[in-house]
Amino acid sequence: MLQPPPTAPEPPLRATESRISPPIVLSQGNLFCVIDRRGNISPRGATDLGLFHEDTRHLSHLELVLTGGTMTVLSAETIGPSSQIDIGLSDLGSPGFFRDPQNFLHLRRRQLLDHNEFVERIIATNHHRAAIDLELQLLLDADFADIFELRGARRQRPGSPLPPETGDGHILFSYRGTDQLLYRTLVRTMPSPRTIVGTSPCYRLHLEPGESTVLEVIVLAERGPLDAASVASSWRPFDVRLTDLALRQKTFLDRTTHLTADNNRFEAMIDRALTDLDSLRLDVDGRHIIGAGIPWFAAPFGRDALLTSLSCLAFAPDLATETLHTLAAYQGKCDDPWREEEPGKIFHELRRGELARAGEVPHSPYYGTIDATPLWLVLLAETYRWTGDELLVDELEPAAERALAWIERRLERDGGLLRYHQTHTRGLENQGWKDSHDGVSHPDGAIAKPPIALIEVQGYTVAALEAMALLRRRRRDLRGSVRLREQAQLLRRRIDADFWVEQSRYYALALDGDGRRVATITSNPGHLAFCQALAPERVNRVAEVLLSDALFSGWGIRTVARGQAVYNPLSYHNGTIWPHDNALCALGLAVSGHGHSALALLEGIYAASLHFRDLRLPELFCGMARSEGDALVHYPVSCSPQAWATASLFLLLQAALGIRSNAEAGRLIVRNPNLPSFLRQLRLERMRVGRSLVSLQFERHDDRTHVDLIEIQGETHLKVMIEMG
């Protein structure tokens, strides 16, 4: 560590803080960064902090050290695609019992991500009446840890760190992985430091009264030899980069539905959600797909991307098109038990870090999911209903047929239901969305034995069969269409016969390997409604249970009902509240004629959202009941931003407004719309339906919501059907 110069005898003070404070998250495509509230990655090697590129941590320590006073965080925010941390340096050692500390130095740290670069601008301004001399040092390190290591995986064998190299204003960290790739982190500063001690650039600052100085730091994350073009372009000024990022973001936002409302906070939440979704879009070999969430799941996940895209069809349909194409490109081609790959199957998770490349984990990609394949077909059909894109369907029809063939093989093999079981110890025990080890448990707490048939997966399969029936009818294969509809109807009857529990008058979570019903009361049956897989006589009962005190906390529907043996409001899957789960239930309730129940879910999730920083809904939160005056309880390691939680806002709103699309028939349907209590007016502009852009105005009068068609642009043959019950 740099020793203080003779003119500054005070010991260096590090910008450290309690880990209780939520971190700042920056995300831009394949690069993301998690820093603490002082702008640091500190302490060194903290598992939840760092600069990450494609599942590898390229910066494990970034800490600003100053001599000459006490550092205090004045504010720490994200502003658009960048962070802004303001720090004051004050003289707390001054004599005088009641004397206020004198804040004499303002330090502003702005950070952003640009392609595969982390860029920081530090501005130091002297507000003292005399000149000051300070020592500034940046402590740096790169451990090149794989994301699986940080989540607790044990390495079979380590790679080889190479000695750091330093030169004129730069530090180069390198690592040779067991996948034989060379991983590099290049740190450059402008201006060049006075000296570099170890791997830490050091500066001596002399500032006259009112004088400022600027330091820029560029961290380049790369694999293989350094790209000369990337290095040469890395000196673009910070403000230029910020402008370019805003323009890139605008390109995405210009193709989304624009929302205005009489609630500024709700507007800001929607804007934040759209920009977060854009920032989570990953580049995978030239294709794009939404990443699941930061920090642990900043990678393509089949189920997450599919449900996120499905939730965003009314607002950002391009996400669906990207997701469908990318997942089809990686569709299973052979039988590979290590990766649980099968012909026609859609993958669960694709990782691109060292452990996946070296074959230490099966995620290259890993196919251990039972629901991604039917959900891919559901998304394809829903995308067609919104976009009417004949070319898209033609391009993806071969992949759709392969997915259908996989489903039909599995149904035949497993007795007419879609079931899963783990094929090796490094795979997932549970392969539905509640994929923790105890995510499928009997009412007495016993973990269900495989092979397991989940209730919601059978619903997804009904919807997938109906989706393929639609596509067959589109190409005039009426016989094939009828056969698939009959198959879907047969599965509906099977669901009702096999999963209905008379004692609770509710559906079981699953059937276990012995054919026993897993009769635990959960949110999963709510997914049947949006798949239109519920028996008509069961709809009211399912709605009643979902909105009962046992499941509905006031903030949202719990994953497991209060009173069940496995209920734990602090668990991951057994009593917490997941926004995406609520959104799917809300859509199902709305489609089934329970619009006011869908409205209650929107209002609960919105109330919960007011408790989260940066107006971001996290992956999940705790399931304690909402009482007057109570604060919401956060889940400690919830991902944020997280794709399907972010997207849940759009699906919740769509459900409450009763919006459904049938672009093939040239119709947009608005059935029994309901604005929540926190909105009186809402306007949706340039909503894409087929080749038309639709603008609608909603206005609430007491408990009645009125809707007006404002404008249709593009192909004007579209009919907007407004149905008021």
- Measured over the CA atoms of residue 2, residue 6, residue 11 and residue 14, the dihedral's sign is negative
Question: Which DSSP symbol is given to 665?
Answer: G
Q: Are residues 158 and 273 in the same domain?
A: no
Which helix H or strand E contains 600, and what residues bound it? helix 595-609
Contacts of 707 (CB under 8 A, 6+ apart): 657, 670, 673, 696, 697, 698, 699, 722
Residue 183 near residue 175, CB atoms below 8 Å: yes
Mean pLDDT of 509-537: 96
φ, ψ dihedrals at 628, nearest 5°: -60, 125
Each residue's pLDDT tens digit, 104-133: 899 999 999 998 999 999 999 999 888 999
For residue 118, give the CATH number of its domain: 2.70.98.40
Number of helical (H) and strand (E) elements in the chain, helices listed first: 16, 32
Q: According to the model, what pLDDT value does residue 189 have? A: 93
Each residue's pLDDT tens digit, 545-602: 999 999 999 999 999 999 999 999 999 999 999 999 999 999 999 999 999 999 999 9
pLDDT band at 2 (very low <50, low <70, confident <90, very high): very low
Range of the domain at 456: 255-706
Q: According to the model, what pLDDT value does residue 697 have? A: 98
Measured distance CA(105)–CA(64) in Å, rounded:
14
Q: Please indicate, yes or no, if residue 445 is contained in any of the structural domains.
A: yes
pLDDT band at 83 (very low <50, low <70, confident <90, very high): very high
Q: According to the model, what pLDDT value does residue 128 have? A: 86
pLDDT band at 92 (very low <50, low <70, confident <90, very high): very low
Q: Please indicate, yes or no, if residue 439 is contained in any of the structural domains.
A: yes
Q: According to the model, what pLDDT value does residue 48 have? A: 87
Q: What's the distance, CA 454 to chain centroid?
A: 24
Q: According to the model, what pLDDT value does residue 224 have? A: 80
Distances (CA, A) of 686 to 254, 259, 319: 10, 9, 16
Query: Would residue 270 be called left, alpha or beta, if left means φ above 0 and alpha means ψ between -120 and 50 degrees?
Result: alpha
Measured distance CA(110)–CA(122) in Å, rounded:
7
Q: Please indicate, yes or no, if residue 184 is contained in any of the structural domains.
A: yes
Residue 308 near residue 277, CB atoms below 8 Å: yes
Q: What's the distance, CA 278 to chain centroid?
A: 11
Q: According to the model, what pLDDT value does residue 283 have? A: 95
Q: According to the model, what pLDDT value does residue 100 have? A: 55
Higher pLDDT, 338 or 19: 338
Neighbours of 545 (CB within 10 A): 22
Higher pLDDT, 695 or 99: 695
Side chain identity, residue 605: I
Q: What percent of the chain has pLDDT over 70?
A: 95
Q: Are residues 281 and 217 in the same domain?
A: no
Mean pLDDT of 27-53: 94
Q: According to the model, what pLDDT value does residue 615 have? A: 86
Angle at which helices 238-253 and 264-279 pack, to 10 degrees? 100
Cis peptide before 23 (omega within 30 of 0): no
Residue 341 near residue 354, CB atoms below 8 Å: no
pLDDT band at 49 (very low <50, low <70, confident <90, very high): very high
User: Over the Cα atoms of the chain, what is R_g?
Assistant: 27
Higher pLDDT, 100 or 236: 236
Q: According to the model, what pLDDT value does residue 289 have? A: 97
DSSP-derived pairing of the beta strands 281-284 and 258-261: unpaired
Q: Please indicate, yes or no, if residue 723 is contained in any of the structural domains.
A: no
Q: Are residues 562 and 694 in the same domain?
A: yes
Q: Are residues 24 and 150 in the same domain?
A: yes
Mean pLDDT of 245-269: 96
Mean pLDDT of 225-254: 82
pLDDT band at 68 (very low <50, low <70, confident <90, very high): confident
- Report the candidate in 309, 424, 310, 296 with the shortest Cα–Cα distance to residue 351: 296
- Report the candidate in 198, 277, 186, 270 with the shortest Cα–Cα distance to residue 235: 186
Q: According to the model, what pLDDT value does residue 628 have? A: 72
For residue 676, give the CATH number of its domain: 1.50.10.10
Q: Please indicate, yes or no, if residue 261 is contained in any of the structural domains.
A: yes
Q: Are residues 204 and 349 in the same domain?
A: no
Q: Are residues 518 and 573 in the same domain?
A: yes
Q: According to the model, what pLDDT value does residue 229 have? A: 58
Q: Please indicate, yes or no, if residue 715 is contained in any of the structural domains.
A: no
- Measured over the CA atoms of residue 39, residue 44, residue 45 and residue 47, the dihedral's sign is negative
Q: Are residues 133 and 280 in the same domain?
A: no
Q: Are residues 262 and 199 in the same domain?
A: no
Q: Please indicate, yes or no, if residue 725 is contained in any of the structural domains.
A: no
Domain closes at, from 182, 215, 249: 249
Tokens for 80, please give them: 């658009």
Q: Are residues 602 and 519 in the same domain?
A: yes
What residues does 50 pair with on adjacent strands? Answer: 34
Residue 162 near residue 175, CB atoms below 8 Å: yes
Residue 538 near residue 529, CB atoms below 8 Å: no
Q: What's the distance, CA 317 to chain centroid?
A: 17
408: exposed, middle or buried (Cβ count in 10 Å: 0-12, 13-18, 19+): middle
Q: According to the model, what pLDDT value does residue 98 have? A: 47
- Report the candidate in 31, 32, 54, 51 with the shortest Cα–Cα distance to residue 41: 51
What residues does 82 pair with on adjacent strands? Answer: 79, 112
Measured distance CA(508)–CA(286) in Å, rounded:
43
The three-state secondary structure class of 363 is: coil
Q: Are residues 217 and 317 in the same domain?
A: no
Q: Are residues 541 and 664 in the same domain?
A: yes
DSSP-derived pairing of the beta strands 719-723 and 667-671: parallel
Q: According to the model, what pLDDT value does residue 230 have? A: 54
Cis peptide before 191 (omega within 30 of 0): yes
Each residue's pLDDT tens digit, 6-16: 233 333 333 33
Domain closes at, from 230, 249, 268: 249
Residue 95 has pLDDT above 60, yes or no: no
Domain closes at, from 200, 219, 249: 249
What residues does 557 pair with on adjacent strands? Answer: 552
Number of domains in the chain: 2
Q: According to the model, what pLDDT value does residue 269 have? A: 96
Q: Are residues 234 and 154 in the same domain?
A: yes
Measured distance CA(227)–CA(716) in Å, rounded:
50
Q: Please indicate, yes or no, if residue 326 is contained in any of the structural domains.
A: yes
